[in-house]
Amino acid sequence: MTLFIVFGALALGAAVAMVFQRNAVHAALLLVLNLLAVAVLFLSLGAEFLFASQIIVYAGAIVVLFLFVIMLLGVDRSEVVLEHTPFQRRQIALGAVSALVLIGAAAPVLGSKTLTAKLPAIPKTFGSAQSIGTVLFQTYLLPFELTGLLLLVATIGILMLAKKKPR
């Protein structure tokens, strides 16, 4: 529980700080912190495979790519000046109010102790590499295959939109 409070707060704090960060490089680094804290939460739930892949794939590969792109574009040199127009300020206020309403509606539900009382107990192997493999390649085989198709679409899309000169 202590572990959850410490790293949950860290994940939340890093996420909020990332959104309000004006320097893109710093924002990406805060994202790493957030992802690492979430990885620890996975570990505390006994999902060591997710813990490892979260660090390797997200904190490792993806954010490093983010940093490459940010530095290649040179965003760190010219900081984006954020000046809010009155319209935007009203939008932000509206967003804050609706966020509070949503949290107010969701908090009593999510805080209730009897919420998952009737659910069957979680099996010991839940989250292990073996059980993830079984779920991924048996029950969810079709979604897994479709993810491959999704990556094909993404590849075609990138080539179409970002390639310098159309043939």
Q: How far is the CB of 21 from other proteins (least distance, A)?
A: 19
- Strands (E) in the chain, as ranges, are none
Residue 101 touches other proteins, criterion: CB under 8 A: no
Residue 118 touches other proteins, criterion: CB under 8 A: yes
- Helix or strand or coil: residue 105? helix
Residue 156 touches other proteins, criterion: CB under 8 A: yes
Residue 1 touches other proteins, criterion: CB under 8 A: no
Q: How far is the CB of 150 from other proteins (least distance, A)?
A: 5
Contacts of 7 (CB under 8 A, 6+ apart): 37, 38, 40, 41, 44
Residue 115 touches other proteins, criterion: CB under 8 A: yes
Contacts of 8 (CB under 8 A, 6+ apart): 37, 41
Stretch that binds other proteins, among 21-29, 48-56, 63-71, 110-118 (CB under 8 A): 110-118
Burial (0-12, 13-18, 19+ Cβ within 10 Å), 70? middle
Q: Which residues of the chain form contacts with other proteins (CB under 8 A)?
A: 105-106, 109-110, 112, 114-120, 138-143, 146-147, 149-150, 152-154, 156-157, 159-161, 166-167
